[in-house]
Structure 1
Amino acid sequence: MYAYRAYGDQEFLGWATDVWNWVAPSQITQDQAKTGITPVRPAPIQGQCNGKSTAGGVFWRSECSERTDMDANVVTTGLFETLSAYLCV
């Protein structure tokens, strides 16, 4: 995304969009947090962590990798949210 903004080359924008589309299914939705069920993991997920909703969190491994890995983290979530914001501008 930074390359697209710097150089205006549509190919870079296409790659950023491809990454967003690849990662988006790994983001936990409000409904998934409420029900504890997500299509990208075989086991139930926690809907809350320390009293806060896990909605918006992003699993750090894509749905085509090790699906038993239930970890979501701030780095993956932050990068995805940043890319989302840049794509909206």
Structure 2
Amino acid sequence: PNITISLEDRINIAGAAIETAISKLGPDAQFDGQSLGYAGQLYSQMAEFDIASNQTKYKDTLKEYFLKAPHRSSNFSDVLYYGHAGAMAYAAYKDQVFLDYAIQSWWFGQTYTLTSQQVAAGKTGVKNITLSSQCQEITMAGGTFHASSCSLPLAFSHVCPVCRAISRTPELWQPFRLGECVILPARHP
């Protein structure tokens, strides 16, 4: 189909949607009562909007929001969203502070990412569990724990009958469940 709406109108519509989302943030630059990851997703969208519209409209706002953002979370997925937002903001603005946020998230996540050596040994130093080497014939190496604590409740609805993988969106990613721990795989069918 042909797009008949002007570029300017599309930018205005997208900008209005982002502004509406921003208006829902609390004083801590988070959505009240929601997972921290939702705000991280919004931060990414703000940077992506500036990339797509060739602007720097949200640069200063994002700097302010990142200062308020939590620097650690027991839920790795939340940190992942902030890392992605930092990378997108760096791509948009070429400002080192955003790259630093992305790098901090990477180092936090790397701690909870399984190496081939850990998978071969069947254990990792950050969790007291026995690791399987594979799930559905795919290595666990490169998989990342969903949470830094194994005691977090799970808020997912789809379950893989073979490996008990769970996901909100099964076509995007399927974390592995080991006891109470969840691992985000490097790739999964």
TM-score grouping bracket, smaller chain normalisation: 0.7 to 0.9
Deviations 1:9-56 (A, max 9, x none): 111000000000111011110011111110111111111111221000
Query: 2:131 corresponds to which letter in structure 1?
Result: I
Match of 2:91 in 1: 5
Please identify the structure whose Cα radius of gyration is greater.
2
2:122 corresponds to 1:36: yes
Which segments of 5 or more consecutive residues in structure 2 lack a partner in the other structure? 1-86, 152-178
2:184 corresponds to 1:73: yes
TM-score by length of 1: 0.73
Query: 1:71 corresponds to which letter in structure 2?
Result: V
Secondary structure of the equivalent of 1:17? helix
Return the match for 1:14 from 73, 76, 100: 100
Moved over 4 A (4+): none
Match of 2:68 in 1: none
Which segments of 5 or more consecutive residues in structure 1 lack a partner in the other structure? 79-89
Query: 1:36 corresponds to which letter in structure 2?
Result: G
Q: Which has the higher strand share?
A: 2
| Identical aligned residues as a percent | 31
Query: Does the 8 Å CA contact 1:34/1:47 hold for their aligned counterparts?
Result: yes
Structure 2 CA distance, aligned partners of 1:66 and 1:48? 20
Task: Compute the RMSD of aligned alpha carbons.
Answer: 1.9
Q: Which has the higher helix share?
A: 1
TM-score by length of 2: 0.36
Greater relative contact order structure (CA < 8 Å, 6+ sep): 1
